[in-house]
A and B are shown apart, each in its own frame.
Chain A
């Protein structure tokens, strides 16, 4: 697609509101994967992530959509909806779901002697991320996993850049400590 043909999210939104299915499909292709990954990292559940991503678009096409272009970007609105849905799911679930619970990943704790250290470290990281406080987890997901810069992350979360920066700093410290703790038995087994 050339730059001239590229439509903004907001333009696509206006077109889809007029019934343009192609605009809706384009918006979906553009935004759904990141929303799904965001929800996946935040909930640790593939089915919940799919539910969240789908619901964002259901709300987007609803006749009473409360998106207001003057108050922010469409992407920010979508992440806002996704964040609320994740929060609702978390409330329903009662406690955070371990990241590996539905991804067919072998459980880190039950497979210590099982295989490759790298894979185990990854599993340990998923667990560590899932155990972070939600606000810290969100900063890690957006900045480290989705490679958003601080400004973008702050815009999507709706908080000052400094807040994102400090949350991320704190989250990384917690992750490093958790990884060290979770990897300790693994290293001992490898020796």
Chain B
């Protein structure tokens, strides 16, 4: 048995420094990194994103501007109104596509805050915080072509 013990000891010593090649280690580390890259967005992220998207969709779906009198009337069947929106106190909204000839227009009564009015090209007192009644002249595509701050005294309905 002594000879066996000695031989086992020698075999143990011989194997002591043995291990896999550096290439094997490199392969594993690269694989680990690659796996992490693919799973850098954890499962909970997608759940969170789905909930967030649903919330955003819900918020967008809720109309912010409650029309005072929704889609009150169809204004004109000629393009003249759009061509000359100032004619009825409307201010043309800049940087919007022009109306086509014969395009139907409609006026929508709504309330807009000063910042929104400013974005439509209306000069308002920036210190105001309250929403102001306004009329929007919309094209068939739903885009506003002109805006008019309604006179509260004449807010009785039509444009």
Contacts and interface: CB of A to CB of B under 8 A. Distances in A.
A and B, one complex? Answer: yes
Interface of A: 16, 19, 21, 24-25, 28, 32-33, 36-37, 40-41, 49-50, 53-54, 57-58, 61, 63, 118, 121-122, 124-126, 129, 140, 144-145, 147, 172, 175-176, 179
B31 A61 contact: yes
A25 to B, nearest CB: 7
B53 to A, nearest CB: 25
A28 B28 contact: yes
Contacts of B24: 50, 53-54
Interface string B59-75: 00000000000000000
A40 B16 CA distance: 12
Contacts of B35: 61, 63
Tell me the interface secondary structure of chain A in the complex.
helix
Given A21-B33, A36-B19, A145-B15, A54 B27 contact: yes
Tell me the interface secondary structure of chain B in the complex.
helix
A120 to B, nearest CB: 10
Contacts of A147: 12
Contacts of B7: 121-122, 124-125, 179
B27 A37 contact: no
Nearest to A105: B14
A40 B11 contact: no
A145 B11 contact: yes
B15 A28 contact: no
Contact of A125 (B1, B8, B19, B20): B8
Contacts of A19: 36, 39-40
18 contacts: A19-B36, A24-B29, A32-B20, A36-B18, A36-B19, A37-B15, A37-B19, A40-B15, A53-B20, A54-B24, A54-B28, A58-B28, A121-B3, A121-B7, A125-B8, A176-B3, A176-B4, A179-B3
B14 A122 contact: yes
Given A32-B25, A63-B35, A121-B7, 8 more contacts: A21-B36, A25-B29, A28-B28, A37-B19, A122-B11, A125-B10, A145-B15, A172-B4
A122 B9 CA distance: 10
A39 to B, nearest CB: 9
A51 to B, nearest CB: 9
